[in-house]
């Protein structure tokens, strides 16, 4: 029988208290961080009464903190909070005493008698408030979850229930495995009995096999005699094969002649294939020239091209931009458009400072065209014109470079 795993028992006993302590510590850290971030916004929301001396800053802090803690309903589950407020020089502001239990809140049901609101007392309170605000206010917050509280007991009970369920599940699984193992053992015993019966049957089969062996030996002798006859027949057939080889040689010569004819036809087909491939290349070049011909844009695209060209003409006084360049600019992505316009701006300021990637010479003897690169993939093709102006001929990317160069050659 397979017993319950010791490792499972060990984990189910050890993990609940460990997770319980870790959860309490994690909740203490979580609430401390959260409330420490919220507390600075609670202290003083209106400084006018403080500056007028109608209330002391210690009383204001005490009221705000008590109101803040009263809004935290989770404190009813047993969470203890210690808040200490001091001035920058170490003067104790909250709670109103510096000793005793560190987690006792300053919620006196009978606060000290409020001094008379005479101008002298109000002035003294206002001066004290001003002095404290000048020194600065520092606070510290500590959260503790005692072990005997509702929250701590609830977390412990949760882990105990969860791991009890896991232990019960492991026990059920082990019990099922033990049941299946018992069934398997019964099958093994049954198989052993069948093996014993099979051994007796094999003994009988062995005796029958010996009888068949004797019969087979007798047949082997007969086969040996037939084998001798077969060797004689093979020798006769070999002689016939030698005579047939001469006829095969004649057939081989005929096949070689036919192969030579086929090779000649193959060379003719290769030559024809090369001519067709050359024709395909010429057709592709013709197709590229046809595709490079500028297309008439749609009405909406024409409006966008005119608007963009007008904007460039207004912004960049030293730039003349061709329609193909505007179309190429509009075909770019938004990021590439920004980088392309940055290059156009620099070109408008001083085209002599641009980093030219290469020069492109036209076959028709026109002015040399320059190629500039932007954003690694972008390309701008331009050439200087009369005066200090610059003419932008095309804008594209690395993918449209072949079409753009064909366009520039035909200018």
Q: What is the mean pLDDT of residues 270-296?
A: 59
- Asked if residue 337 is part of any domain, the answer here is yes
Q: In total, how many domains does the chain have?
A: 2
Distance CA 384, CA 366 (A): 11
CATH of the domain at 319: 3.30.2310.20
Give the residue from 87, 113, 146 where a domain finishes: 146
- Asked if residue 169 is part of any domain, the answer here is no
* pLDDT number for residue 198: 81
* pLDDT number for residue 289: 53
- Residue 250 pLDDT more than 80? no
- Residue 395 pLDDT more than 90? yes
Residues 6 or more apart whose Cβ sits within 8 Å of residue 69: 75, 81, 83, 105
Per DSSP, the residues of 134-202 read HH-EEEEEEEE--TTSHHHHHHHHHHHHHHHHHHHHHHHHHHHHHHHHHHHHHHHHHHHHHHHHHHHHH
- Residue 304 pLDDT more than 60? yes
Q: What is the mean pLDDT of residues 230-257?
A: 76
Q: Which domain holds residue 135?
A: 42-146
- Asked if residue 371 is part of any domain, the answer here is yes
Least confident of 41-50, 131-140, 277-286: 277-286
* pLDDT number for residue 329: 92
**Could you read off the pLDDT of 58-111 as tens digits, one per residue?**
777 788 888 888 888 888 888 888 888 877 777 777 775 444 444 544 444 345
- Asked if residue 259 is part of any domain, the answer here is no
Confidence of residue 365 (pLDDT cuts 50, 70, 90): low
CB atoms within 10 A of CB 397: 19
- Asked if residue 226 is part of any domain, the answer here is no
Residue 254, CB half-sphere, CA atoms under 13 Å: how many?
5
Distance CA 206, CA 210 (A): 6
Which H or E element spans position 210?
Answer: helix 150-292
**Could you read off the pLDDT of 324-360 as tens digits, one per residue?**
999 999 998 888 999 999 999 998 888 888 888 888 8
With the C-alpha atoms ordered 296, 391, 367, 285, is the resulting torsion angle positive or negative? negative
Confidence of residue 239 (pLDDT cuts 50, 70, 90): confident
Of 138-147, 201-210, 327-336, give the range with the top mean pLDDT: 327-336
- Asked if residue 263 is part of any domain, the answer here is no
Structure tokens at 304: 């966008």
Per DSSP, the residues of 256-283 read HHHHHHHHHHHHHHHHHHHHHHHHHHHH
Please, what is the average pLDDT of the chain?
A: 78
Give the residue from 91, 120, 146 where a domain finishes: 146
**Could you read off the pLDDT of 167-193 as tens digits, one per residue?**
888 778 887 877 788 787 788 788 777
- Asked if residue 403 is part of any domain, the answer here is yes
Give the residue from 146, 175, 209 where a domain finishes: 146
Length of the chain: 411
Residues 6 or more apart whose Cβ sits within 8 Å of residue 323: 294, 305, 309
- Asked if residue 323 is part of any domain, the answer here is yes
């Amino acid at each position: 029988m397979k017993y319950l795993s010791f490792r499972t028992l060990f984990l189910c006993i050890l993990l609940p208290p460990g997770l319980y302590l870790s959860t309490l510590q994690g909740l203490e850290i979580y609430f401390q961080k959260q409330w420490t971030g919220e507390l600075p916004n609670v202290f003083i929301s209106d400084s006018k009464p403080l500056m007028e001396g109608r209330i002391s800053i210690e009383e204001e802090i005490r009221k705000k903190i008590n109101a803040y803690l009263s809004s935290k309903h989770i404190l009813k589950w047993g969470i203890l909070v210690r808040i200490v407020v001091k001035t920058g020089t170490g003067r104790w502001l909250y709670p109103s005493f510096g000793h005793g239990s560190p987690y006792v809140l300053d919620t006196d049901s009978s606060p000290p008698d409020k001094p008379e609101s005479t101008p002298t007392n109000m002035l003294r309170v206002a001066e004290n408030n001003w002095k404290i605000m000048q020194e600065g206010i520092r606070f510290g917050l500590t959260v503790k979850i005692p072990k005997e509280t509702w929250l701590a007991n609830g977390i412990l009970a949760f882990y105990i229930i969860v791991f009890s369920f896991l232990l019960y599940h492991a026990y059920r699984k082990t019990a099922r495995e033990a049941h299946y193992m018992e069934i398997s053992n019964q099958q093994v015993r049954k198989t052993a009995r069948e093996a014993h019966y099979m051994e007796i049957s094999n003994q009988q089969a062995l005796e029958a096999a010996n009888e068949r062996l004797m019969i087979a030996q007798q047949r082997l002798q007969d086969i040996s005699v037939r084998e001798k006859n077969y060797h004689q027949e093979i020798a006769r057939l070999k002689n016939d094969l030698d005579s047939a080889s001469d006829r095969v040689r004649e057939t081989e010569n005929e096949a070689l002649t036919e192969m030579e004819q086929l090779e000649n036809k193959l060379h003719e087909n290769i030559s024809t294939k090369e001519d067709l491939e050359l024709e395909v290349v010429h057709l592709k070049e013709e197709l590229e020239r046809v595709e490079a011909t500028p297309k008439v844009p749609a009405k909406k695209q024409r409006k966008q091209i005119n608007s963009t060209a007008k904007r460039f003409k207004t912004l960049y006084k030293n730039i003349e931009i061709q329609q193909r360049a505007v179309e190429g600019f509009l075909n770019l992505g938004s990021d590439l458009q920004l980088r392309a316009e940055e290059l156009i701006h620099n070109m408008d300021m001083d085209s002599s400072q641009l980093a030219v990637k290469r020069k492109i010479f036209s076959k028709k003897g026109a002015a040399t065209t320059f190629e500039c690169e932007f954003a690694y993939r972008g390309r701008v093709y331009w050439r200087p014109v009369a005066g200090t102006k610059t003419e932008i001929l095309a804008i594209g990317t690395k993918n449209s470079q072949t079409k753009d160069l064909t366009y520039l050659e035909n200018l």
